[in-house]
Structure 1
């Protein structure tokens, strides 16, 4: 069904027990990759996804870890290598959101959000750069909000904007090894992060008159993880249904 054959490949997807990360992990597994599913607190959801993948003939494991903690990131990669061997694909998806006017943001808000989204993703990318096999794929999931003017999002978009610059620089550093590094910027997507009150307005902003589904984003990531995307690197790729 999916042309991107990942048989024999191994993947790590952070923040993949629910939402976009869950769809990405499921898609990579459906395409043949052995997937390590990372979660911070939702063990039941992560194990449920593992069971679904295994029941469909795939390979997967769930590993708890908070990407705001560098030792957890390292342990995640250790467990992925122990279970499935050298790593080919890393999707840095885990993040948190704090949405409030800039004037109301506290020092703790800043430290929490940048600690997870910017610092955590930075060290996930560092670990990926150290451990990926030559010819590997790195994909970071940020947000189409960095291309829009949205109130009450300064901390969230600032932390995601930093990741987009990490990707551009890292792509230059890893090109000699045939490793591609890209970011995917989802638009309004049907997850629990999209408030119900905003869904109709968000759908009206797209020429397709709907919000995105998690599979819409997973398809883009699966392409970037494949051999077909070998000539795409250093890109921040919008996947927003024409919204941004």
Structure 2
């Protein structure tokens, strides 16, 4: 495992799932190319993490003991050229790329009777187009013949309605479908393709009232934690995950949408 290289998108806040995945991978000996768009989180109601990226890089470098093992690049995935450039950067920096975890997402309030064409487009561009272009560039760059892993992210929209996030739900449905479309194409190249739905995860975006209300919908009374998703992703990307592909995996701790 020490020679494996992973690219993880959607990394900007230390409390995020992308950061949790990076921690797991660093501890397992991966070399990492991380990317995110901190200004996106800065503009959200929950706010960004101003010291997040430098602090996370310092933490990961302490784990790896190698200042060159973890690299970071700010990237706006609305750019059509960004996905291919990211893959190229990872391969140029580390010499190879074995794993792509596409943890990035764009989500805003998009209810019926309040839809905006530009917002719908942005959801599809970031969540679907960028993911598909990343997958294409990764497949073209992957040369190991086996052990490749592509992990996408869903939000369980097929399990229940998301009336306030219609554009997000539609885009994530597209990501789930990509999982099934890409898996038979990439398995012959030695790459598995899976999609993880981590369920409601406490990454600092919910209000105390929201945390309490949604927490009651879990049998255990608590939200998922970022490391819950990261543990599953680490396993999928390990040799033990070699036979799992084309799956949308709901890892929600028994979450009951209907209470």
Structure 2 distance, partners of 1:187, 1:72, is: 28
User: What is the match of residue 210 of structure 1?
Assistant: 222
Root mean square deviation, CA, Å:
1.6
Structure 1 unaligned spans of 5+: 1-5
User: What is the match of residue 180 of structure 2?
Assistant: 168
Q: Secondary structure at the match of 1:105?
A: coil
Structure 2 residue 29 is matched with structure 1 residue 17: no
Structure 2 distance, partners of 1:175, 1:108, is: 35
CA-to-aligned-CA distance 1:141-177 (integer Å, 9 cap, x gap): 1212332223212111110110111111100001112
**2:180–2:247 CA contact under 8 A, matched in 1:** yes
CA-to-aligned-CA distance 1:173-212 (integer Å, 9 cap, x gap): 0111221000001111001333443211211111121100
Pairwise mapping of residues 137-148 of structure 1 onto structure 2 (< 5 A)?
Answer: 137-148=149-160
Q: TM-score, normalized by length of structure 2?
A: 0.87
Q: Using the TM superposition, give the Cα deviation of residue 47 of structure 1 relative to its aligned residue in structure 2, in angstroms.
A: 2.9
Pairwise mapping of residues 166-205 of structure 1 onto structure 2 (< 5 A)?
Answer: 166-205=178-217
Give aligned pairs, total. 239
Pairwise mapping of residues 46-85 of structure 1 onto structure 2 (< 5 A)?
Answer: 46-58=53-65, 59-85=69-95
**1:144–1:239 CA contact under 8 A, matched in 2:** no
Q: TM-score, normalized by length of structure 1?
A: 0.92
Structure 2 distance, partners of 1:100, 1:64, is: 26
Structure 2 unaligned spans of 5+: 40-49
Structure 2 distance, partners of 1:74, 1:61, is: 17
User: What is the match of residue 104 of structure 2?
Assistant: 94
| Match 1:41 to one of 38, 43, 68 | 38
**2:99–2:150 CA contact under 8 A, matched in 1:** yes
User: What is the match of residue 116 of structure 2?
Assistant: 106
Structure 2 distance, partners of 1:68, 1:25, is: 23
Q: 1:197 to 1:145 in 2, by over 3 A?
A: farther
